[in-house]
Structure 1
């Protein structure tokens, strides 16, 4: 009988995340001497700038996280202070946690400088746990990030070992776990500063000291502290695996995905196209089993140097046609910089919708050409997002506000008017253009109008269709419109309107405008 693999959680700690990220970005900007400057990242407070992170040179000069910048500059006046980018650091940590999914099915951000990765049952793909941890640290080091990793049966133990243990410790045996955690300081229990200080005053400096104290004594001392970070007994049960600690992955409901791990790094574009087509076919089978169709796809390419290339496409309608899915990425793959090669490819259905199977009619032949959703997807992929759109009806009776431009796959079918008179012209001007109208009486039908220097005699006229102003949107003195459908002697048909009425008290004489053309 096959045995269920033991739970294996990897904790990835980036002790210099902020400073490593700043140095990496500075090097990308062409600042070659970025790593040769004593840099501190600071945050403004009521008492002046406070240091959040330091570069290695600044640390050697005596600067420490938590110090005020003024105090640090007394030790080293040449410190270069840079404002901290906390939001950018958090986004970078999320991207790094997602990048770590090449070694396991899911990951999550753990605090401000660490990530957790579930590698249950995957270590044999990388020649063992120790080799996998070494590869993880090497990959992140190639990107410029210092990483300390550890593997344990639960998140608490992995966090403690990565922050305070030896280099790349691997502890999966529950019996050996207390022995490995015992020498670690009490701070490895992830308690807050107040609890840590109280444990120190009680003489409990290590996790082993806490384990040796009778549980009843600690329970009485910390009985009023319900928060996990304030109660060492709760944290102790978590690191020993006696109680469950809830974990929230970056993708709570992981999307459907297929991937390929390549034996040799991939450099040729034609091979990458073939692999993408194979992944699209495999993903189509997965979507069919779930009775779903993809609406948004993401193609993730892991390079040998650790960087990730991500291309995303969005479909106008749910689809699981492998040929269509693969064709959407053909243009995106051109110009990819593989550098030393791509060794892992993943195709993810980020957004999927229910899609039942449909049987073609038996009394007709298969349709030729492309369906409208397929055509829209190709146009968006070829021309770019934002350059293909459609009009949908809006809640307004003013013609220029009765529709708006949206993406092809958004919105409902346009409103169909059943009344014969409420026909709208096929072409509306972007802005109504003023015209000069001659009519027999102020309230009568127009007889002749001049537009763009040309004089048009009106042979037929129908109207008016009166449209009142939208008092909840427009100013109080807005005037109503009387629309006319007219035809000149040459058979050309126009849509004109009179803006205002004689004696309505909202301005002078009415103005006339040309708004559209009928076919």
Structure 2
């Protein structure tokens, strides 16, 4: 009997957003999309749902109930891209996986469940692995794709109907919207009193066909639900990564086998990369031993590359560590991670490109020292100085990150003294200081830091930075930054946190955040 599994991710959008958000877990956040008459709520956190926000409602109506709702733009394109990746990842359960809408997958699991110990254990494995990814799923299996879709979204937890009679019993109490009909047809059926699939199935087929002639075929939807009309799955076209394979006539046991195989595989892989107009960002050399085990060596690059000498040099040290044991009988070189790379001229004269040379140096250092030890700064989307930049691996993917120039909120102070822009040294975290000032809102006159007293000879500012209300609690206070110079000519970047009478605490606190020169 045919068996289709439907995987529904009911909280995909909000769970994906929560992975990269800095908001507190209990924040009343709603994700919004553009609607005909304003913003529409696309997804909500649990805190927002408790305050009355529901997907599909207008943001203005939800804020009428609770003005404290935090609205964040949704990313449907990013959600769809994630579902595509999950479809490829779900191949561990079935060779035939289809993307089902914006938040679901369909799998043909006929003849597969016994490999996992039965259907219930298969369902449990799906739940467990998605939970490890931080995603909530509902899973159902049925003889038809339409029935599996309906049951996955039903209140009943994980039903596993077998025959047609059992299937109809499970489906009968479900609302007619489980047939995936258009909203107008669903409203018409409700007005006719046909609110459940069971009530609709008891109606004469001829009467239903006549009543809904010219609109969506209700009879056709019922037939797809029960299997009278086939609904085959169409898997996404496979796009395997570029790969070069070398099979040996006799097992190779000498230590140089992997290095010699690499010399033959690199040109083969480069030709495939050129044909697809791709550049490799991560390469893996896999050695297949005669006893069925494998040995893998991997390297990553800072920018896309298909330069044979560079790629071979990166993998040369790694391949020397591959132990043949009882012997290798095959090798495969795979570009696990690729990016588009068209033909380009690096220079008008015979000089190496500085960008290419720097990238190759980063690649060699990463291979020698490990990716965790070779890092580079990268701007973040924040106007608070301590959050405006971070460190990432030099060979990590920065696709989709903003390339805009980071702004730390510093002012161009003491321009005649070449003390402009952000301080050359930013402390890992601001340190508290004691400050003496003439008036609460006036310029600082003296401060004590690390048991040393500094008399301020010059001061410039303030430059005000407001708190990030969408990330920080409502009690967060604004900052007023000053560039100051003491009597010895040393320059500092200090700020006052809060104002007197701002209702967010007591007296303002002072901190030192950076050093100039």
Structure 2 contact 246–332 (Cα < 8 Å) conserved: yes
Output the CA distance in 2 between the equivalents of 1:278 and 1:379. Answer: 25
Output the CA distance in 2 between the equivalents of 1:381 and 1:480. Answer: 44
Q: Which of 311, 331, 337 pairs up with 1:325?
A: 311
Q: 1:437-476 maps to which residues of 2 (within 5 A)?
A: 437-476=435-474
Output the CA distance in 1 between the equivalents of 2:472 and 2:327. Answer: 60
2:67 is aligned to: none
Output the CA distance in 1 between the equivalents of 2:515 and 2:404. Answer: 19
C-alpha distance 349-363 of structure 1, shift in aligned 2 (>3 A)? closer
Deviation string 1:197-247 (CA, Å, 9 cap, x unpaired) is xxxxxxxxxxxxxxxxxxxxxxxxxxxx999x999xx9xxxxxxxxxx989
Structure 1 contact 301–344 (Cα < 8 Å) conserved: yes
Structure 2 contact 378–391 (Cα < 8 Å) conserved: yes
1:401 is aligned to: 387
Output the CA distance in 1 between the equivalents of 2:402 and 2:317. Answer: 30
Q: Does 1:341 align with 2:327?
A: yes
Q: 1:94-243 maps to which residues of 2 (within 5 A)?
A: 111-112=112-113
What SS does structure 2 have at the residue aligned with 1:269?
coil
2:300 is aligned to: 314
TM-score, normalisation: structure 2:
0.51
Output the CA distance in 2 between the equivalents of 1:389 and 1:342. Answer: 35
Q: 1:311 Cα shift?
A: 3.1
C-alpha distance 412-504 of structure 1, shift in aligned 2 (>3 A)? closer
C-alpha distance 254-493 of structure 1, shift in aligned 2 (>3 A)? same
Output the CA distance in 2 between the equivalents of 1:465 and 1:450. Answer: 21
Figure out how many residues of one structure are paired with residues of the other and give that number.
303
C-alpha distance 476-94 of structure 1, shift in aligned 2 (>3 A)? closer
Q: 1:112 Cα shift?
A: 4.5
Structure 2 unmatched runs, 5+ = 1-88, 96-107, 117-160, 165-221, 414-419
Output the CA distance in 1 between the equivalents of 2:251 and 2:388. Answer: 54
What SS does structure 1 have at the residue aligned with 2:274?
helix
C-alpha distance 347-226 of structure 1, shift in aligned 2 (>3 A)? farther
Deviation string 1:307-349 (CA, Å, 9 cap, x unpaired) is 1223333322111011221222234334333210111000012
Q: 1:446 Cα shift?
A: 1.5
Q: 1:255 Cα shift?
A: 1.9
Output the CA distance in 2 between the equivalents of 1:293 and 1:484. Answer: 47
Structure 2 contact 255–323 (Cα < 8 Å) conserved: no
Output the CA distance in 2 between the equivalents of 1:454 and 1:295. Answer: 51
Output the CA distance in 2 between the equivalents of 1:416 and 1:509. Answer: 31
Deviation string 1:50-73 (CA, Å, 9 cap, x unpaired) is xxxxxxxxxxxxxxxxxxxxxxxx
Q: Which of 270, 278, 299 pairs up with 2:264?
A: 278
2:403 is aligned to: 413
Q: 1:416 Cα shift?
A: 5.0
Output the CA distance in 2 between the equivalents of 1:246 and 1:440. Answer: 76
Structure 1 unmatched runs, 5+ = 1-90, 98-107, 116-191, 196-224, 235-244
Q: Which has the larger radius of gyration?
A: 1
Q: 1:248 Cα shift?
A: 6.0
Structure 2 contact 427–514 (Cα < 8 Å) conserved: yes
Output the CA distance in 1 between the equivalents of 2:242 and 2:327. Answer: 26
1:254 is aligned to: 240
Deviation string 1:248-290 (CA, Å, 9 cap, x unpaired) is 69x8112221111112222233331132133122211221222
Output the CA distance in 2 between the equivalents of 1:483 and 1:111. Answer: 64
Output the CA distance in 2 between the equivalents of 1:113 and 1:301. Answer: 31
C-alpha distance 360-509 of structure 1, shift in aligned 2 (>3 A)? closer
1:294 is aligned to: 280
C-alpha distance 307-377 of structure 1, shift in aligned 2 (>3 A)? same
Structure 2 contact 388–406 (Cα < 8 Å) conserved: no
TM-score, normalisation: structure 1:
0.51
